[in-house]
Amino acid sequence: MLTNIERILFIIFFIVMSFLTYKSFRSMHKIINRGQDKLYFNRLFSRIIKALTVFVSQKTVLKSRPVVSFLHSLIAWAFIIYIIVNIGDVIYGFTAFNISYSFGIIGNIYRIFIDIFSVTAILATAFFLVRRFIFSSERLKYNSNVLINEDTLMGIRRDSLIVGLFIILHIGFRFIGESIILRMEHADAWQPLAAMTSVIWSGLSIDRLVILQHIFWWIAIGLIMAFIPYFPNSKHAHLFMGPINYLTKKNPYGYSTIGSLDFEDESNEQFGVAKLEHLDKSHILDAYACIMCNRCQDVCPAYITDKSLSPSALEINKRYYINKNKKSLAAGYESQQILTQFAINESALWACTTCAACLEICPVGNEPMLDIIQIRRDKVMMESAFPKQLQGAFTGMERNQNPWNLNEDRMKWVRESEIEIKVPTVEENPDYEVLYWVGCAGAFDQRGQKIAQAFARIMNAAKVNFAVLGNNENCTGDSARRAGNEYLFAMMAKANVETLNSKKVKKIVTTCPHCLHTLKNEYPQFGGNFEVVHHTEFIDNIVKSGQLVLSAGNKNSIYTYHDPCYLGRHNRIFNAPRKNLEAVKINFAELDRNRENSFCCGAGGSQMWKEEEEGKQPVRQNRIQEAIELNYNTVCTGCPFCMTMLSDAVNELKSAIQIKDIAQVIADHIV
């Protein structure tokens, strides 16, 4: 179809654009490589399958906002399909051979699919443009207290417009070009929409149609070739950086654990993240992968309660900072600004509860929560700039090995139990089968002690051979790590691992999901490898084995269950607590936000030890409000931090709702 001159022009154009594309991707690669750690390629085959599955199925996109997500998926699928279409069109341009007519029924299906799909992709893109530019959807906006730069706001609008128009024009011109071919060559029942459109060319001579065919071919193919070098700088980059994110992140199958720091390395002058290049490579890549969809913001408890934290703003600010400073970053120069100047403000930094809702919802596997913890590390360890109230918890963990800063006997909860319980220490029962890790809340907090006492009653009733560390147990350091005090955390982790290894501990049960998370997922970094279970899992097992017999509960009141973030989202323990409640045959109903979509109580991320950042409502009240509106009588949970937060919220809102740990409910039904 193309003339010889056009062929030569195309080849020159292709070479120039390929060179510009190479330069563009090379600078992207250099910028990502400025980061720390590495991109992960272990178990490559399974990573490739994961990345392809996510991309082709669009399942991570489709898990929320069903209508908008389906329309977005149409565009993503169009991206994949149009790679094939464009190759076919270039072959046609050079040889006038239309490959899709050569495969019988498969070619026919291909043509009808492309015909319909082209129109739906154009309509879907038009919808997104109208949504952003005409209806200004609330979901695409930010609270006025969120740090979002002018460059970012301008960039979002500019990119959205360019990308939207590019898709419409590229697919549109290609579709019209196809309708001209149908007019010139033959009718095709397998392209009904292009055939209908071809009617508009009915008055034109063949010569004119040929000229138009060439023009539309050049616009359609020229647009894609001109766009590719711009690709890495545009928001469209998420189409391939999203799958690459899954391909290369530390843990593509779940949330990545935060890495430890090497304090022994004397050459290390920076602990934590101050500047963009201090981030891990995969967290710089996050900025390129971001769809800018604000799904993470929609579920962030801090944002919902009007704090100045928006995880999406963090990622998007990073992206436009990179775009603005692309040359100097790629050339290896140091960033001129720190992240808290352009990506996230200080209040937002300290508002994060580390609930992982943003990680759970993000369709491209971004991890803004890990950026936040890493930036906190810099603030705490390099600048000593953190909310003053955290100092009490730090001092407590350092001097008294508990964030309550109490210098008391860790076994007091046993002596003070209203019902007699038998809780031997490892010294008193050296042949124990399972170690009960009581946690600081169980040892020192009044409400936490009730949970520990209830669980001890359960273990006594089930004749479990257990022991505790007593005064040899120290805080796991969870709050120190989440607050960015990695140095303190590392000290505590090493000491605890030493104790646990010296006592030859194999299996641990704990009533605290924060302890569970730290012992199970983070202590392996310090040489501690233990089987760690939550008390709800433990109870489920002893009920199943017949070791624990329970009576049926009261059917008059409605019980519900609040999934603690560190039990549910972080450790995927959703069923055991529900089975526990099923075992006592009470009247159970779910909260609207449950399981992986649960809403935080507000205590995690070291918020327990400080006032919440400025906002319109405490997170805990937002959570309990849901149970109040549903007229539930008892909210059960499986975490002493949730217990504290939810009980406080009930008091503040003067509600009659009871808050109980699962262990307390079960202990009340021991036969």
- C-alpha span between 495 and 167 (Å, rounded): 58
Is the four-CA dihedral 605, 611, 617, 620 of positive or negative sign?
Answer: positive
Calpha distance 629→612 (Å, rounded):
24
Smallest gap from Cβ 291 to ligand SF4, in A, equals 4
- State how far the Cα of 638 lies from the Cα of 601, in Å rounded to an integer: 12
Q: What angle do CA 24, 30, 32 make, to 5 degrees?
A: 105
Nearer to ligand SF4, 115 or 360 (CB): 360
Closer residue to ligand SF4 (CB): 28 or 550: 28
- Only one residue has tokens 């996050």, namely 286
Q: How far is the CB of 479 from ligand SF4 (least distance, A)?
A: 15
By beta-carbon proximity to ligand SF4, the closer residue of 361 and 469 is 361
Pairwise CA distance, residues 621 & 602, whole Å:
9
CB of 311 to ligand SF4, least distance (A): 4
Nearest distance in Å: CB 35, ligand SF4: 17
Identity of the residue, 496 or 607, whose beta carbon is nearer to ligand SF4 in the bound complex: 607
d(CA 18, CA 224): 12
Sheet strand arrangement including 507-510: 466-467, 434-437, 507-510, 531-534
Helix (H, G, I), strand (E, B) or coil at 588: strand
CB of 460 to ligand SF4, least distance (A): 38
Binding residues (CB under 6 A) for ligand SF4: these are: 290-296, 300-302, 309, 311-312, 315, 352-358, 361-364, 366, 368-369
Q: Among 348, 365, 362, 360, which Cα is nearest to 295's?
A: 362
Nearer Cβ to ligand SF4, position 396 or 602?
A: 602
Name which of 37, 502, 469 is nearest 280 in CA terms: 37
Say if CB 354 and CB 262 are below 8 A apart. no
Q: Reduced to 3 states, what is the DSSP secondary structure of residue 550?
A: strand
Q: Which is nearer to ligand SF4, 177 or 365 (CB)?
A: 365
In terms of CB distance, is 361 or 627 closer to ligand SF4? 361
Query: In whole angstroms, how close is the CB of 428 to ligand SF4 at the nearest point?
Result: 41
Nearest to 170 by CA among 111, 231, 211: 231
- Pick 398 or 626: Cβ nearer ligand SF4: 626
Contacts of 410 (CB under 8 A, 6+ apart): 438, 443, 444, 470, 471, 473
Cβ distance to ligand SF4 smaller for residue 225 or 364: 364
* Closer Cβ to ligand SF4, 560 or 598, answer by number: 598
- CB-nearer residue toward ligand SF4: 225 or 355: 355
Rounded least distance, CB 66 to ligand SF4, Å: 16
Phi, psi values for residue 21, rounded to 5°: -65, -45
Cβ 25 to ligand SF4 shortest distance, Å = 21
Least gap, CB of 619 to ligand SF4 (angstroms): 8
3-state secondary structure of 559: strand
Nearest distance in Å: CB 303, ligand SF4: 6
| Burial tier of 324 (Cβ tally within 10 Å: 0-12, 13-18, 19+) | middle
Q: Please report how close the Cβ of residue 373 comes to ligand SF4 at its closest, in angstroms.
A: 9
Residue type, 314: L
364 versus 591: smaller Cβ distance to ligand SF4: 364
Which has the closest alpha carbon to 413: 446, 390, 381, 386?
A: 446
Number of other CB atoms surrounding residue 573 within 10 Å: 21
Choice between 352 and 493, CB closer to ligand SF4: 352
* CB closer to ligand SF4, 535 vs 569: 569
Q: Tell me how far, at minimum, the Cβ of 350 lies from ligand SF4, in Å.
A: 11
Distance between CA atoms of residues 316 and 325, nearest Å: 14
Nearer to ligand SF4, 77 or 201 (CB): 77
For residue 660, what are the β-bridge partners?
Answer: 636
Q: To the nearest whole angstrom, how small is the minimum distance from the Cβ of residue 357 to ligand SF4?
A: 4
Comparing CA positions, the residue from 50, 59, 92 lying closest to residue 77 is: 59
Q: How far is the CB of 51 from ligand SF4 (least distance, A)?
A: 15
Whose Cβ is closer to ligand SF4: residue 301's or residue 403's?
Answer: 301
| CA–CA gap between residue 523 and residue 531 (Å, rounded) | 11
Nearest distance from residue 253's CB to ligand SF4, in Å? 17
Candidates 638, 643, 647, 631; CA nearest to 589 is 631
Residues contacting residue 261 through CB under 8 Å, at least 6 positions apart = 268, 271, 272, 377, 486, 487, 490
Task: Work out how close the CB of 477 gets to ligand SF4 at its nearest, in angstroms, rounded to a whole number.
Answer: 19
Angle at 381 between CA 378 and CA 386, to 5 degrees: 80
How far, in whole angstroms, is CA 261 from its chain's centroid? 23
The alpha carbons of the chain give a radius of gyration, in whole angstroms, of 30
Tell me the backbone φ, ψ of residue 41, rounded to 5 degrees: -125, 10
Within 13 A of 509's CA, how many CA atoms are on the CB side?
23
Report the run of H or E that residue 635 belongs to, with start and end.
Answer: strand 634-637
Instruction: Give the separation between CA 313 and CA 486, rounded to whole angstroms.
Output: 26
